[in-house]
Chain A
Amino acid sequence: MKYFSWLASIKTTVFCLLWLTVLTFWGTMYQAEHGLYRAQEMFFDSFVFLGFEIFPLPGAMLVMTVLFVNLLASFFVHYQAGWKMPGLMLIHIGLIMLLLGGFFTKITGMEANVSLVEGQGRNLAASLTEWEVLVADELQNVREIKAVELDDLKKGTEFAFDESGLRFRVLEVFDNAKGIEGESGEGVESPSGFRELKPLPRRKQPEEDLPGLRVAVEGAANLEEAILWGNDRRPVGLETPEGHVRFLAMRKRRYELPMFIELKDFQRTLYPGSEIPKDYRSLITVHLGDEVERDVVIKMNEPFRLNGWTFYQQSFAIQDNTELSVFAVTRNFGRLIPYWATGITSLGLAMHFLQMQLMQLRRRKRKSA
């Protein structure tokens, strides 16, 4: 019960809020030098982090977990009195929902993007930061691809894709790497002509990282080791004992979309006589199955949503008179939870502070009477 009281204690709330304030300030300042991703990783997505690279300190995830438990516990301890403070109850219900919604999004959410030139279509979205290692049984007109996420690979990890007899063991893996060019030795193949990989510090923008992977290959007739790099232009060819050919490569992780989207037209409008963007929009055709298709306009602040997937107009590029439209694609089944939480908490805050003011006024009137 003693521990439960501590968990429900309002002092715990104060410490959590103050520490979150510190983390938010610190993390924001940190961003200026190290970029958003690094700051997010270190301060906001962590349970514990090393402050000044020395002191282990609680990260925002830990603090928010404690705050969540604190909110729940205080709900049972403090609000048993009933509905005298309905605003306060609503505030805390809303905040619990908000924290739960954030957690749910973190677990189930997905962010990727699709780039299309006019006339082109795709049913795959590529992650910005996640990578995968894949084996394909055909280079062009791929029939079958099997992939493993790079994040799951550590030094010594062994993996295999199918019954082809090919097995792989990770010798080295780096989040960001550069290759040293040169003769790679007998039985070693690197599409970029590297003899070894050197780790590099992570970049400010994580999407600019180029990971490197060195794997030992068992069961291939033509080589024993492969060096893969994020900027390889071609895959490594592997001969199976049965004499078939497989292709090993590393690429940004792909997500299969439940539809095929085709870019019909991209339009960019500027304010007259200026370079100030007024509007970006893409006209796409969405193919759902063989016979169902519809035209949709996606523009700034007006995304296209379907079955939990959302497509946003993210950016564009013009290369050689060809317009390339880039869409951010997200899948988040819990996206409406923060909406509800915001409404409930705000209503609670308004009710609570109005109630407080009315109570104060009544008290003053009583005093003056």
Chain B
Amino acid sequence: MKALIPLLVFLLCSPFARGQDPEELEASPPAEAVEALGDLPVLYNGRVMPLDTFARLHLLQFSGRKSYEGESAMEWMARLLFDPHGTEDDLVFLIDHPELLDHMEVDRKLQVEGERKPSTRRFNLEHLRPGLMKLEELAMRARERDQNEEELGKVEQEAMRVYSNVLTYRMLGQVFAYARPLPGLKIENPEILELLNLSEDAGPLTYMDLGDRVGNLSQMIQDAQAIDDPEQWTEAQRTAFALASMMFTFSQNLSDLPLKLLPAAPHGEQTWLAPFDALHNSDQDRQLIRAARNAGELAQAWSAGDWDEVTQKAEAVSAFSQGRMDHVREAKLAPLEADFNQVNPFGKAKVGYLLAFLLSLGALVSGNRALRLAAWVPLAIALVMHVGGIAVRVYLTARPPVTNLYGTFLFVGLICLLLALLVEGFQKNALGLFAGSFIALTFLFIADRFAAEGDTLHKVVAVLASNFWLSTHVIAVTTGYAGVWIAGVFGHIWLVCRLLDKPKSMLEQVRLPMEGLLGFGLTFAFLGTMLGGVWADQSWGRFWGWDPKENGALLIVLWTAAIYHARVAGMIREKGMAVGTVIGCIMVMLAWLGVNLLGVGLHSYGFTNAMLALFFGYIAFELTFLAVMLILIRLRDIQRLNA
């Protein structure tokens, strides 16, 4: 948590944050302006990303959502950056634990105009404002306890998270304050106006207008300071002193704000500055000052609804950053990443998979060949989106496809689908289409949950920064997950078919891929697990250390090997094999997620708790499924014998 600057400073500064009333703004911005803004490269969390991604990450962090009431994250971020006052009624602060609101002495419910039900999870700044001092106290105490490695309660953790979000929100709202009119500032003294080279009819003044002119007053201020009694200062001296003090306070409060938009050093080490710092501390770097001014004028154009100017200025700032960072690959790729966000290939793939799933289900139930063939169409489109999405991620990160949990679900979903399509290619009975589209769809939905964790294209830490091992061990072990998982799906289907008394030929059509895919899964799970040992040996000198992640992978290998041997030994038959593959799915989940959940408290607790519930819910579902299936199949067998 970066809560180092007291919130009070920002509360006191809030008049500076006030921009135009939203009603004064012109119509919604056109797509070109939003796109140009979204393409702006910024440095955040160790990497250069487009402002569009920055906006998405922050809105997600504040509210747990990717958009705000139909408005894209970028549009909402633009309002926060350029007209922060206009966002104070937005319900963007997610509070998972209402007890925190009690501590803040704020109502647990917020009745919003035009809504029937009051909001109980998301609140606006206006609602939280009376409790902000209490929130700050609570968060500071929690932070101190955290630094002393004391265990924090849920409310304390929530207080730290919400406080950090409020602080970030306020700081983002200040980023372009230097380009907004300074409230209450009207210079009428002709002497000062002359010194500042301003005419009497100059409009509302901003820091950007005055920043480099205020130096002209230095002689007058020095003369005033030489007079012991301020009562004897002239009107002009008083105005000059007040203006300089105001500018100083302003610059103190607005330094080091979070939006690192402008690279400071050309072609050198990556130091990026917030526009105000670039304007204020750039000495003789005229290009940088020009870029900071462009950024300020961009903010003014947005407030004025001058969309052509917005586009022009945004392009000018982008060109400056990319010119300076022409050796940084990510800076050049920022527009591509923004386009990738807009296209949302995985969202589109989900639609395709859903259609394919429904059509293949229809084909399975009815045996209709036309439905089966029709299922291929949305499936092919979804597959292209899915593969394309992964390919773009690989290109953007210059890393193999799997570098985090989010990536594993995209990749395993794809491998499962390809394996299922292989089965479909042999059998042509819609079974592969059905199983593949179902898994791909499910895994893309789960991936969405992990996207809420934050930046899915983040930098990998030093110990993982090896493309060789990421592309061998990780790919092999996740391919192993895919094989065992898809075998488990066929196991489920086999049990259902057996219960429904499907003909033996049908059961065989399910059993064969089930056993074959389990072998595929075992081969890759073993290879991946052992390659993990080789990586561990290369990295810290021991092949095997029984740590949870290693053990998770080993569980899959041991279990699948056990059921294979049991089958060969005649200890189990087809039904036992199907049950074994279903349990194999549980083993995969244990290895994949379970071992991560052993370290509860390391991650955002709200997210982890939700995932924990999902994880145990899944295991409970599988065990219930197995119990119900086995009982029903047994009853059916007895019934048949009696008949």
Q: In whole angstroms, what is the CA distance A122 to B599 when docked?
A: 37
**Minimum distance in angstroms from A12 CB to a CB of chain B:** 9
Instruction: Confirm or deny: A314 has a beta carbon within 8 angstroms of a beta carbon on chain B.
Output: yes
Contact of B516 among A111, A303, A332, A357 (CB under 8 A): A357
Decide yes or no: A272 and B531 within 8 Å by CB, A301-B539, A312-B539, A312-B540 being known contacts. Answer: no
Q: Mark A97-135, 1 if CB is under 8 A from B, else 0.
A: 010011001000101000000000000000000000000
Chain A residue with minimal CB distance to B595? A28
Q: In whole angstroms, what is the CA distance A348 to B561 when docked?
A: 14
**Pair A24/B566 contact, Cβ less than 8 Å:** no
Chain A residues in 8 Å Cβ range of B520: 353
**Minimum distance in angstroms from A319 CB to a CB of chain B:** 18
**Minimum distance in angstroms from A56 CB to a CB of chain B:** 21
Instruction: Confirm or deny: B434 has a beta carbon within 8 angstroms of a beta carbon on chain A.
Output: no
Instruction: Confirm or deny: A338 has a beta carbon within 8 angstroms of a beta carbon on chain B.
Output: yes
Instruction: Confirm or deny: A25 has a beta carbon within 8 angstroms of a beta carbon on chain B.
Output: yes
**Minimum distance in angstroms from B144 CB to a CB of chain A:** 20
**Pair B526/A300 contact, Cβ less than 8 Å:** no
Chain A residue with minimal CB distance to B269? A272
Instruction: Confirm or deny: A277 has a beta carbon within 8 angstroms of a beta carbon on chain B.
Output: yes
One of A36-44, A174-182, A194-202, A207-215 at the interface:
A36-44
Q: Mark B533-554, 1 if CB is under 8 A from A, else 0.
A: 1110111111111111001101
Instruction: Confirm or deny: A76 has a beta carbon within 8 angstroms of a beta carbon on chain B.
Output: no
Instruction: Confirm or deny: B260 has a beta carbon within 8 angstroms of a beta carbon on chain A.
Output: yes
**Minimum distance in angstroms from B301 CB to a CB of chain A:** 27
Q: Mark A336-359, 1 if CB is under 8 A from B, else 0.
A: 001101100110011011001100
Contact of B534 among A102, A338, A357 (CB under 8 A): A338
Decide yes or no: A274 and B459 within 8 Å by CB, A28-B551, A345-B526, A350-B523 being known contacts. Answer: yes
One of B39-47, B70-78, B155-163, B181-189 at the interface:
B39-47
Chain A residues in 8 Å Cβ range of B533: 338, 342
Instruction: Confirm or deny: A362 has a beta carbon within 8 angstroms of a beta carbon on chain B.
Output: no
**Minimum distance in angstroms from B445 CB to a CB of chain A:** 28
**Pair B547/A314 contact, Cβ less than 8 Å:** no
Q: How large is the interface on A (under 10, 10 to 19, 20 to 34, 35 or more residues)?
A: 35 or more
**Pair A17/B519 contact, Cβ less than 8 Å:** no
**Pair A300/B539 contact, Cβ less than 8 Å:** yes
**Pair B544/A36 contact, Cβ less than 8 Å:** no
Instruction: Confirm or deny: B4 has a beta carbon within 8 angstroms of a beta carbon on chain A.
Output: no
Q: In whole angstroms, what is the CA distance A21 to B555 when docked?
A: 6
Chain A residue with minimal CB distance to B45? A274
Q: Mark B255-292, 1 if CB is under 8 A from A, else 0.
A: 00000100000000111100000000000000000000
**Minimum distance in angstroms from A59 CB to a CB of chain B:** 12
Contact of B537 among A21, A28, A338 (CB under 8 A): A338
Give the residue among B519, B530, B543, B555 with the most A Cβ atoms within 10 A: B543
Decide yes or no: A40 and B546 within 8 Å by CB, A10-B568, A273-B43 being known contacts. Answer: yes
Chain B residues in 8 Å Cβ range of A257: none
Instruction: Confirm or deny: B5 has a beta carbon within 8 angstroms of a beta carbon on chain A.
Output: no
Q: In whole angstroms, what is the CA distance A11 to B523 when docked?
A: 21
**Pair B546/A312 contact, Cβ less than 8 Å:** no
Q: In whole angstroms, what is the CA distance A303 to B270 when docked?
A: 28
Q: How large is the interface on B (under 10, 10 to 19, 20 to 34, 35 or more residues)?
A: 35 or more
Which residues in window 430-486 of B have CB below 8 A to A?
458-459, 461-463, 465-466, 469
Instruction: Confirm or deny: A47 has a beta carbon within 8 angstroms of a beta carbon on chain B.
Output: no
Give the residue among A101, A270, A349, A356 with the most B Cβ atoms within 10 A: A349
Instruction: Confirm or deny: A158 has a beta carbon within 8 angstroms of a beta carbon on chain B.
Output: no
Give the residue among B426, B526, B535, B554 with the most A Cβ atoms within 10 A: B526
**Pair B46/A11 contact, Cβ less than 8 Å:** no
Q: In whole angstroms, what is the CA distance A44 to B545 when docked?
A: 10
Q: Mark A14-36, 1 if CB is under 8 A from B, else 0.
A: 10011011001101110110001
Which residues in window 212-228 of B have CB below 8 A to A?
none
Contact of A24 among B512, B531, B558, B568 (CB under 8 A): B558
**Pair A277/B530 contact, Cβ less than 8 Å:** no
Decide yes or no: A349 and B523 within 8 Å by CB, A272-B270, A314-B540 being known contacts. Answer: yes
Chain A residues in 8 Å Cβ range of B595: 28
Instruction: Confirm or deny: A146 has a beta carbon within 8 angstroms of a beta carbon on chain B.
Output: no
Contact of A36 among B527, B540, B545 (CB under 8 A): B545
Contact of A335 among B463, B465, B543, B571 (CB under 8 A): B543
Instruction: Confirm or deny: A278 has a beta carbon within 8 angstroms of a beta carbon on chain B.
Output: yes
Instruction: Confirm or deny: A292 has a beta carbon within 8 angstroms of a beta carbon on chain B.
Output: no
Chain B residues in 8 Å Cβ range of A270: 46
Chain A residue with minimal CB distance to B543? A338
Give the residue among A14, A310, A357 with the most B Cβ atoms within 10 A: A14
Q: In whole angstroms, what is the CA distance A13 to B466 when docked?
A: 37
Instruction: Confirm or deny: B320 has a beta carbon within 8 angstroms of a beta carbon on chain A.
Output: no
Instruction: Confirm or deny: B522 has a beta carbon within 8 angstroms of a beta carbon on chain A.
Output: yes
Contact of A17 among B516, B546, B562, B568 (CB under 8 A): B562
Q: In whole angstroms, what is the CA distance A364 to B509 when docked?
A: 10
Instruction: Confirm or deny: B12 has a beta carbon within 8 angstroms of a beta carbon on chain A.
Output: no
Chain A residue with minimal CB distance to B519? A353
Decide yes or no: A21 and B461 within 8 Å by CB, A271-B46, A346-B527, A353-B519 being known contacts. Answer: no
Chain B residues in 8 Å Cβ range of A353: 516, 519-520, 522-523
**Pair B571/A14 contact, Cβ less than 8 Å:** yes
Instruction: Confirm or deny: B598 has a beta carbon within 8 angstroms of a beta carbon on chain A.
Output: yes
**Pair B538/A273 contact, Cβ less than 8 Å:** no
Instruction: Confirm or deny: A328 has a beta carbon within 8 angstroms of a beta carbon on chain B.
Output: yes
Q: A13-B565, A31-B598, A353-B519 are in contact. List 9 more A-B contacts (CB 8 A).
A: A14-B569, A21-B558, A24-B558, A25-B590, A271-B45, A276-B458, A276-B461, A278-B46, A339-B534
For the complex of A and B, list the 3 residue pairs with the smallest distance between their C-beta atoms, beginning with the closest.
A271-B46, A274-B46, A353-B519
Instruction: Enumerate 8 A-B pairs (CB-CB under 8 Å) in ascending A order.
Output: A14-B571, A109-B542, A273-B44, A273-B271, A276-B46, A303-B538, A356-B519, A357-B516
